[in-house]
Amino acid sequence: MAGRIFITHLKLSLREKHALFWTLAFGMILGTLFYVAFHGIYEKESTDSIPTALVVQGEGNSASEIKEMLAGMTYDSGTKMLEITETDEEKAKSLLAEDEVDGIILVKLNADNTAEFSLHVNENGIGQSVLTVVVGEFQASFDYITYLYKNYPEQLPAYMEKQTGDLIMDAVKAEGIGGRNTDPYVAYFYNLMAMVCLFCSLQSLAAMCKNQANINEVGKRTNLVPVNKVLYELSALAAVYLVQLAATLVVLLYLKFVLKIDFGGDLPWLFMLTALGTLLGVSLGYMVAHIGSKGFDSKETILTLITLLGGFFAGLFYHGMKIVVEENNPILNRINPSAVITDSFYSLNIFGVGDRLYRSVIYMVALSVVFIIAGSVLGRRQQYASL
């Protein structure tokens, strides 16, 4: 019986042109517009000198070497990578507050010839992304220099010569450390994929509302069928999920292979995150369909409002909004489906496969389960006086 229900709703889902439009056409059209708007901006701006405040605390031979290495970094064009203003910490904070520098590189030189590098920024951007890579590479390089100085001093001159040449520049180019895509504009495509996944909720909403006797004539007949209601609806939901998953994967492949968007992760992981995002989307529609006894139009309005507001707070319209929410109300980013899906793509790109990505996957699975359970419980409570 479940298999027959699944196949029937699979056919019905393929006929829902309206729902498929929002998944396929919306993703492709908006993705193309994003590509036209942002393509090439990062490559152009990432070759400009980055105004940077340098604060060195402590004295020693290392101080002059660090300053020389930072000042000597150049792009392939010969342009200096950093426009350095050497100052004290208080003045540097003032420059950062007035947006005269993109970031502050703070270097603390310790008595044991070790050094601690840190970066202070006020916002996300191209310059800040490059500075993040530079500081990370300098910390790793200086730690290795200290190791060579203590254990293999004869190898130190050759390593220092190489460091002032290509090693750090290689890390800054294209993928950055760990194979990352440091282009901040790729965040818009994370949010786009989140919106595409959540628009899948429209079809699950429509499918569930058709089974409700107070909304649709078909619902009167399905409620008379001697089959478990939850089993019936979950079979229908599985069919909707399969169709919408195919559509979201087409959008992902279009963005990655046609528009050449670098999501910063391997294709199998991108497929898995898209599959989980789609599941989150259809489960959201499943839950909203069982809230109250309002008609389909009212529930569709509620769902659209949830999706659009979620996209706004996740950064679809302004990529820095998610950071603002994280600083002021972080719990919203944990329960906002758009933010959860966006963060999974971000984690894969920036941090790779690790704890933060696993945490994002757990959030997506947990929210999906909560939405499905909530929808099933609400659905079982629906009673009709007559059919």
Distance CA 188, CA 300 (A): 25
Q: Specify burial of residue 115 (Cβ count, 10 A radius: 0-12, 13-18, 19+).
A: buried
Per-residue pLDDT of the chain (387 residues; tens, 9 = 90+): 667 767 876 777 777 777 677 778 888 998 898 888 777 665 555 557 889 999 988 766 667 777 777 877 776 666 778 888 888 889 999 999 888 898 999 988 877 767 788 888 887 666 777 788 788 777 777 777 777 777 777 776 766 665 544 444 554 443 433 335 666 678 788 888 998 999 899 888 888 877 765 555 555 556 556 566 778 788 889 999 999 999 999 999 999 999 888 887 889 999 999 999 999 999 999 999 888 777 788 888 999 899 888 888 887 776 667 777 887 888 888 899 999 999 999 888 877 888 889 999 999 999 999 999 998 888 775 554 444
Question: Residue 79: enclosing H or E segment and its boundaries?
Answer: none
Q: Please state, in angstroms and as integers, the Cα–Cα distance from residue 267 to each residue in 30, 87, 194, 249, 309, following that order.
A: 22, 45, 17, 11, 29
CATH architecture of 48-179: 3-Layer(aba) Sandwich (3.40)
How many residues are there in the chain? 387
Q: What pLDDT, on the 0 to 100 scale, is given for residue 128?
A: 75
> Domain map of the chain by residue range?
2-39+185-380, 48-179
Amino acid 271 reads: F
Distance (Å, rounded) from C-alpha 279 to C-alpha 291? 19
**Helical axes 337-350 vs 355-380, angle rounded to 10°:** 160
Question: Both tokens of residue 356?
Answer: 């933060």
Specify the DSSP element, H or E, that contains 184: none
Residue 10: half-sphere exposure toward Cβ, Cα within 13 Å:
12
- Amino acid at site 153: P
CA distance 20 to 246: 10
Task: State the residue for tokens 């502050």.
Answer: 104
The answer to whether residues 222 and 228 touch, using CB atoms and an 8 Å cutoff, is: no
| Dist CA 256 CA 373 (whole Å) | 34
pLDDT of amino acid 216? 58
Which two structure tokens, joined as six digits, stand for 79?
A: 């342009």
Identify the CA nearest to 144 among candidates 161, 160, 133. Answer: 160
pLDDT confidence of residue 60: 61
Q: Greatest CA separation found in the chain? A: 91
Task: Report the pLDDT value the prediction gives residue 193, as an integer from 0 to 100.
Answer: 92
Q: How far is the C-alpha of 73 from the C-alpha of 82, rounded, in Å?
A: 7
Pick from 142, 174, 363: nearest CA to 260: 174
Neighbouring CB atoms inside 10 A of 219's CB total 18
